[in-house]
Structure 1
Amino acid sequence: MKKQDTCRQLRGIIAAIDQAADLAEKYRYEDFCQDYKAQTTITGYICAITAYDREISTIVRVKYLLVPWKDLDALEDTISRADPASRPRILWRITTDVLSRSRPQLADVLRDMEN
């Protein structure tokens, strides 16, 4: 994969993380659990993140070991395997915890690759 392709994938991941975070900020946890549309939208962002992440080459993954690549790879599977009752809680945790912790690391990788 070319460097520019990897940068495009990273920008896609970061944009989806930002969109999910922006949406989650509009909700309290209890309200989010009741809003199926918001849950569906966040699920779409997470699926996009997973799709972009799976395009990142092994070389990049090895070079930037601090990024939780495996966690990002597993996001979509985690959601699809969750029972419907726990899905809102899992979506909330992914959005407010996993993605928010991964974003700075991904931004660092993108900055490094663009230079």
Structure 2
Amino acid sequence: MALTNEDLLAISQLLDVKLDAKLKPMENDIKSIKDEQTRIKDEQTRINLIIENDILHDINILVENYVPAAKRYQDATSQIEAMQADMDIMKKVISDHSEKLKKIS
């Protein structure tokens, strides 16, 4: 039994209909995945812009203010230590002088 052109055409159309029915959900899934990837890429771009424009800018401002303050604190620390040593000496001298004054009077 030989198939005619009409039979082959009918089979081809049936296959096309079945194949379309099977492929349509896959095409929709692929489109959905592509849309999600585009959305994620756009979100990443937005996040990168926020990091670059806002966060890094704020960090730079903090650094600009922190570094000089840290240097001032470092310098002041040695001065405070020197003043503490001077005060300890002064306490001893004052104490000695107080004792000497008590003995004199």
TM-score by length of 1: 0.25
Q: Which has the higher contact order (CA 8 A, sep 6+)?
A: 1
Structure with higher helix content: 2
